[in-house]
Structure 1
Amino acid sequence: MKQALGFALLILSVGVGAAYADEIEAPSRIESVTVFPVGAEVTRVARVAVNKGEHTIVFRDLPAGAVEGSIRVEGNATGRLEIGSVDTRRLFVPRADAQASASERRRLENEIERLRDQRASYEAEAQSAETQKELIGNLAQLPTRPAPAAGNAAEENWQAVLALITSASADAQRVLQSAQIKIRDTDRRIEDIEKQLREIAPERTERTEARVFVVAHAPLDADITVRYQVAHASWTPLYDVRLATGSKTVAPTLDLTRRAAISQRSGEAWDNIELVLSTTRPTAGASAPELETMIVDFEPEMPPPPPLATTRRFSGERQAAPQAGGIVGQYEAQDMVAAAPAPEPVIVEERAAEVVQAPFHALFAVPGRTSIPDTGEMKRVQLGSDTLEPALTIRTVPKVDAKAYLYAKLTVPKGAPLLPGAAALFRDGTFVGSGHLPLLSPDEEHEMGFGIDDLVRVRHAVSEQKRGETGLISTSRTDSRHYLLSVKSMHERPISLAVFDQVPVSAHQDIKVELTGRTAPSRQDVDDKRGVLVWEGTLEPDQEQTVEFGYRVSWPSAKSVIYR
């Protein structure tokens, strides 16, 4: 029967001095990876046969980016196996395909050399054609030269000479053009091969070696598990939020699909692995920050500025030599008042803020096996989906935009919380924009906008606006404004309505603001924003609701006011 051995080992900075019988190479493979929002934990497995005695199991396939101090070794064996220590170091190891890479590198280098020789030959052809064109150009100047003396030479057949010049010039131009085309094509081929040469990986690569000292009490087989963390990996939550607005007989629904975008540059490819996504942040710290004593005291009095030194300069006076320990020359003591040095200024320090995330933990196991390359490219996986029953609301701000916007209020289902992430919003199958989901716990409510609702008509009008003065003895100025807002629904089902507007807020006790109008707001100072009002209700199909409101501002007539 197998005897399970679980070991949790601290990484030692120095090796154990005990002797060992031999070294056992342990090629391992990545079995699973747990990715955190920042970083990841990789699990490698290897099966080794161990004889009785002391041995060192060597793992040379850990990446160079394995976080020092995070390597842990555990496993199961068919007999009693004890682990004494685990030592790690960085080293360069030959690549498994180093011989093939070297052969390919030599082939590409030879091809580049051959192409450069060809290019030199084509350049010689082009130079020869250029020389021929120069000679032909010289021949073309013969008819312009003075004719020889009479009787000294036969008359030249210039027509034949010109035909020869034309033919030879065309041939030279064709040779030159052909050579230039060959040079251009050769340069492109050389550039392509040099690019391939740069892409060939080096013959050696940096890795982390783990040496595990073990003692076996009998020949046995062991399944060794090595866990370590890497820094250059992360995952980000993504969401698809699809709203179906429904109809007169069909209630609206909201499909919430959770996704994750994973990327990594850990130095090794994750091929055919079990992938788990965790919300834990190992790099965020495990303990809360501690506070130091904060003292309030009177501000120290600043020392008076040093008096200006007064000097009397007499004609013919010279600077005296500096005194012991002095820096600058001085005049005679009776002619100068020494100034005390100003205290060294103290730089004001600003205490940095620290952010502590609320403690929660969730794991998402991706079904099946997946592969993530070591290129930084995003790998998207689906984590799950939920169908919710949203509450639809019409929200409008007629003062700014006379349009109605459709909102859906969702309740987070039980289970894992929703992490902050980008959301793609769809309404009745049409993409309407992008949004963002904050951190939401189960059973928490959240509203999301789904764009303009064309089935709702909104109007905004100024029904009255006037300024004047009141009072006999102490006059004051007034500014009165009244508005009429109307909202009409053409939906087939009743829908909630929220109309937002505002009144000015006084910044001085002499400025008075009075809310007027027939329609009282449902709430004031919405979301702790002073002056923001909201009228809430329910719109029935084909129903139109109106809001009549306004405000009256008064202030002393001797002053003026501004709205900002």
Structure 2
Amino acid sequence: MSAVAGFNISAKRMDLFFSVTVVSFLLFLSLLTSTASAQTPEQRVNLDVTSVTLHPGSAWITRTGTLSFPAGRSLLVIEGLSISADLSQFEFLAADNSIEMLGLQMQPRSTTTPEEDELIAQSQEIQYRISTLNDEIETAESELDLLQSLALTESGLSPAVDGETLSNLVEVMSTRSNSARQRIRDARIELQELRQQENQINAELSKPLHRGVTYADLRIELVSETQTSSPVTLSYHNDNAFWRWMYDARLDTSAKQLDFTRKAEVSQSTGEDWDDVNLTLSTARFSNRSAAPHLSAQFVNLGQVRRQASSGIQEVVVTGSLVRSASGQVSESPPAVEIRNTNFQLQYQLAGQQSVPSTSGEPFTVIPIDNRELPVNLVSRAVPVHDLNAYLEARFELDGEEPFFNGVLYTYRDGAFIGRGSFAETLPGETTRISFGQDQRIQVRRFDEQQNSRDTGIFSRSNLQEERIRYEVTNRHSDTISVELLDQVPVAQHADINVSIPRGATEATEDNAGGLAGVLLWRMEIDPQETSTVRHYYDLSHPEGEAIHFSR
């Protein structure tokens, strides 16, 4: 018994010792963890967007600020970044070189914008007011029910009530009844207006811009040799932004002067408003290719029998930037490197501070770039095979070293809006042509003089087709006008087909105009009320019995 009892006491002491040891160990771990946490202080900050470089299809966003750093390790949490920020391309710099970045992590979080908070608050106020009005209507209706029951029930009046008292009571009941009905009408009118407002707010909240925009916190682990204060810069890439050129071309036909304005149309839906930032517009694009494609040698041989498919075909599996075959051989494929295309590296640093809000719709921010007055040559151009109208063009040579890029073009002629079109990229030294609509004072008429098809030849018979078209171009302006007329002749693609220009045809100013085979251009200066004639003749022969067809 004593031995057993002694064993039990020893066991209890061992349990107690074990419990104390475990508790002490847990306390030690807790102390160690808290000590470690204390050694890694956390600093939560908001860095303002101060500058943006906007590319045709993306943006390079920079945030700056001045922060204090403790000695040793610390955790910097930059709040409110857009979830669409591309941190595969980012840069974090501290002016103090003793601060070193050890690692980073993005932590998404859902929140609402200030605009959405305001809309939600308005919705809550409207709902409270609707509830109040419903109570008022219910109270007024109960009051009407009570008044009606008093009026219809004789027991509601005392037999001792005299005529004057009864008259006063009826007047009070009538006044109270009319007041209750008026309160009900007013409340229902207000309810209708409030429900319309509530529907508008709900529609606004349902837009993509107000669907719980998701932001992210950037957690950066840092180490500093000493306690210090330093300016910091965080830059990162975002694809949800772009800009494009927009041009206004205003032609003064009397002065032959073109007022040419360049603008930038900017849009961004990054989820971050750019307020009072330094904005730079860059023509450089991010591209997946940095060099021309590579060509390898190609061989051809005779006499070799094609191998059987079972031994010659390999299964190919694409993994990352490697092409791996089933046989285990590995060969490199061209790496996908994202670089800046430096074909035309032009940057436009806009003066002053610019603000571009984040939106989910069409581009709406337009920023003027520059304006210039350009002397132009005016030419009326007609292609009567498709359209008998002539179209006025203003032409000028682009000087300087800066190209004009593709963009949206708005044209105005003598103060009248002509239309919206596109502007083609033009390099320095090239002639720019801008169309300004129909020239209604240039008259183009087409006449078919003769169209024959007959057999020719003695020993080798062939079919000959003769095309004879006459164009008459009349100038109804009060000034001499430059006119260009274009048409074409077929281009033979077979040795047995012959196309020739006969005598009597008007010689073209340019053959193969614009580098297009068979396109003829006649250029003429036509005085006021004068008519110029162009005879467009050609003969086409081909072997008899052979069908021909035309293609483009």
With normalisation by structure 1, the TM-score equals 0.67
Q: 1:439 aligned to 425, 440, 455, which one? A: 425
**Inter-partner Cα distance in structure 2 for 1:432 and 1:99:** 45
Larger fraction in helix? 2
For structure 1, the residue ranges without an aligned partner over 5 or more in a row are 1-16, 129-174, 305-340
Residue 189 of structure 1 aligns to a residue whose secondary structure is helix
CA spacing shift, 1:105–1:478, aligned 2, 3 Å: closer
Superposed counterparts of 1:155-554, under 5 Å = 186=191, 189-190=194-195, 192-193=197-198, 196=201, 205-211=214-220, 213-215=222-224, 217=226, 220-246=228-254, 250=255, 252-291=256-295, 294=298, 359-377=343-361, 378-471=364-457, 475-491=461-477, 494-506=480-492, 508-516=494-502, 517-554=504-541
**Inter-partner Cα distance in structure 1 for 2:218 and 2:473:** 71
Identity percentage of aligned residues: 24
**Inter-partner Cα distance in structure 1 for 2:213 and 2:438:** 59
Q: How many residues align?
A: 453
Q: Quick one: which amino acid aligns to residue 390 of structure 2?
A: A
How far 1:480 sits from its partner (Å)?
Answer: 2.1
Superposed counterparts of 1:17-56, under 5 Å = 20=39, 22-50=41-69, 55-56=74-75
Q: Quick one: which amino acid aligns to residue 37 of structure 1?
A: P
**Inter-partner Cα distance in structure 2 for 1:31 and 1:486:** 64
> Are 1:497 and 1:539, in contact at CA under 8 Å, matched by a contact in 2?
yes
Residue 360 of structure 1 aligns to a residue whose secondary structure is coil
How far 1:108 sits from its partner (Å)?
Answer: 5.0
Asked whether 1:92 is paired with 2:109, we answer yes
What is residue 65 of structure 1 aligned with on the other side?
84
For structure 2, the residue ranges without an aligned partner over 5 or more in a row are 1-35, 146-179, 317-332
> Are 1:122 and 1:180, in contact at CA under 8 Å, matched by a contact in 2?
no
**Inter-partner Cα distance in structure 1 for 2:213 and 2:243:** 30
More off after superposition, 398-407 vs 282-291: 282-291
**Inter-partner Cα distance in structure 1 for 2:282 and 2:213:** 34
CA spacing shift, 1:296–1:188, aligned 2, 3 Å: farther
**Inter-partner Cα distance in structure 2 for 1:466 and 1:202:** 72
What is residue 319 of structure 2 aligned with on the other side?
none
CA spacing shift, 1:88–1:298, aligned 2, 3 Å: farther
Residue 527 of structure 1 aligns to a residue whose secondary structure is helix
How far 1:478 sits from its partner (Å)?
Answer: 3.0
How far 1:36 sits from its partner (Å)?
Answer: 0.9
How far 1:124 sits from its partner (Å)?
Answer: 10
1:56-78 per-position Cα deviation (integer Å, ceiling 9, x unaligned): 4332132222112233222446x
> Are 1:112 and 1:193, in contact at CA under 8 Å, matched by a contact in 2?
no
CA spacing shift, 1:466–1:41, aligned 2, 3 Å: same
> Are 1:57 and 1:214, in contact at CA under 8 Å, matched by a contact in 2?
no
Q: Quick one: which amino acid aligns to residue 379 of structure 1?
A: T
> Are 1:38 and 1:283, in contact at CA under 8 Å, matched by a contact in 2?
no
How far 1:189 sits from its partner (Å)?
Answer: 3.2
**Inter-partner Cα distance in structure 2 for 1:208 and 1:489:** 70
What is residue 9 of structure 1 aligned with on the other side?
none
Residue 440 of structure 2 aligns to a residue whose secondary structure is coil
Residue 514 of structure 2 aligns to a residue whose secondary structure is helix
**Inter-partner Cα distance in structure 2 for 1:290 and 1:508:** 36
Residue 416 of structure 1 aligns to a residue whose secondary structure is coil
Q: Quick one: which amino acid aligns to residue 70 of structure 1?
A: Q
How far 1:294 sits from its partner (Å)?
Answer: 4.9
> Are 2:136 and 2:184, in contact at CA under 8 Å, matched by a contact in 1?
no
CA spacing shift, 1:416–1:524, aligned 2, 3 Å: closer
How far 1:366 sits from its partner (Å)?
Answer: 2.2
**Inter-partner Cα distance in structure 1 for 2:188 and 2:393:** 65
**Inter-partner Cα distance in structure 1 for 2:393 and 2:545:** 47
> Are 1:407 and 1:449, in contact at CA under 8 Å, matched by a contact in 2?
yes
Residue 534 of structure 1 aligns to a residue whose secondary structure is strand
More off after superposition, 552-561 vs 61-70: 552-561
**Inter-partner Cα distance in structure 2 for 1:360 and 1:499:** 36
CA spacing shift, 1:549–1:117, aligned 2, 3 Å: same
**Inter-partner Cα distance in structure 1 for 2:415 and 2:471:** 32
How far 1:402 sits from its partner (Å)?
Answer: 2.4
How far 1:372 sits from its partner (Å)?
Answer: 1.5
Superposed counterparts of 1:552-563, under 5 Å = 552-559=539-546
**Inter-partner Cα distance in structure 1 for 2:118 and 2:410:** 46
